[in-house]
Amino acid sequence: MKVKILIADDHLIVREGLKLIIETNPKYEIIGEATNGKEAVQFAEASRPDIILLDLNMPEMGGLDAMTALQAKGLDIPVIILTTYTEYELMTRGLALGAKGYLLKDTGREMIFRSIDAAVRGETLLLPAITEKVFGKGMLAEEHKTLPAKNPLTDKELAVLQAVARGARSKEIGHELGISERTVKAHLTNIYNKLGVDSRMQAVTAAMELGILDL
């Protein structure tokens, strides 16, 4: 069964470009397009796509309000944010609302496919080039002021976190490191506790701010 995708962006050239790229992969199907957040919510409610590629700045209703509206309607559909390097604050707010990642509008096809696949699995994929630009600006500095001054992670925990940053699932990480999936989850719990976070995305971000995660 193909992954059904909705593209919501007010620029025709962006929608057409993404459609041309995505439809080169037989796993995916573009089932609709929207030019604003209101249309995206209406389409999602009617057609239930598997993934929404959602622009942040659109007329009538922007991406953040659309995400809030989707949640209010109980539509648990993974969202990938379409963004530019100039939208740091909006991007951070989108991730806080539960977005499964973000794509620059000139991102290459392989990164697009990786992000979609991760979102389908319910995972958040933070692409290194974008993450460095966003969180390297210190956007989350206030949130992580209490982070320890040195690396609090063991070598195994750091290896798990590096795999998480690449978008790997717990089962894949276990296979790669020669440990069980349960052990991977235990390591993740320890990582969250040590870094003072409660999600994979926040753990990767915190480790990058500490300078202990090399992407």
Q: What is the pLDDT of residue 80?
A: 93
> What confidence score (pLDDT) does residue 142 get?
43
The string of pLDDT tens digits covering residues 198-215 is: 778 778 877 877 778 765
Domains of the chain: 3-129 (3.40.50.2300), 155-210 (1.10.10.10)
Amino acid identity, position 28? Y
Residue 125 is classified by DSSP as B
Angle at 92 between CA 48 and CA 164, to 5 degrees: 75
Number of H helices, E strands in the chain: 10, 5
Cα–Cα distance measured from residue 25 to residue 123, given in angstroms and rounded to the nearest whole number: 20
**Residue 131 pLDDT grade (very low, low, confident, very high; cuts 50, 70, 90):** low
- Among residues 131, 146, 135, the alpha carbon closest in space to that of 196 is found at 146
User: Is the confidence at residue 4, as pLDDT, over 80?
Assistant: yes
Give the per-residue pLDDT at 42.
96
The pLDDT of 141-152, averaged and rounded, is 50
CB 41 within 8 A of CB 48: no
Per-residue pLDDT at 52: 97
pLDDT of residue 127: 59
Closest CA to 51 of 99, 109, 10, 110: 99
Q: Contact at 8 Å (CB) between 186 and 154?
A: no
Structure tokens at 194: 């040590």
Q: In the numeric block, which tokens belong to residue 130?
A: 């974008």
**Per-residue CA distances from 214 to 35, 126, 129, 183 (Å):** 38, 13, 12, 23
Residue type, 174: G
Backbone angles phi, psi at 93, to 5 degrees: -65, -35
Helix (H) or strand (E) holding 31: strand 28-34
**How many of the other CB atoms lie within 10 Å of CB of 24?**
10
What are 27-60's pLDDT values in tens digits? 999 999 999 999 999 999 999 999 999 998 899 9
Query: In this structure, are residues 146 and 156 in contact, taking their beta carbons and an 8 Å threshold?
Result: no
Tell me the mean pLDDT in the region 167-192: 90
Q: Rounded CA gap, 169 and 71, in Å?
A: 25
* pLDDT of 139 above 50: no
pLDDT for 129 beyond 70: no
Q: Name, of 43-47, 134-138, 157-161, the range with top average pLDDT.
A: 43-47
Q: What is the pLDDT of residues 52-110, one digit of tens each?
A: 999 988 999 999 999 999 999 999 999 999 887 566 677 777 877 888 888 877 778 88
- Cβ 31 vs Cβ 25: under 8 Å: no
Model confidence band, residue 192 (pLDDT cutoffs 50, 70, 90): confident
Average pLDDT for the chain = 83
Mean pLDDT, to the nearest integer, of 9-30? 93
Residues 6+ apart with CB under 8 A from 21: 109, 112
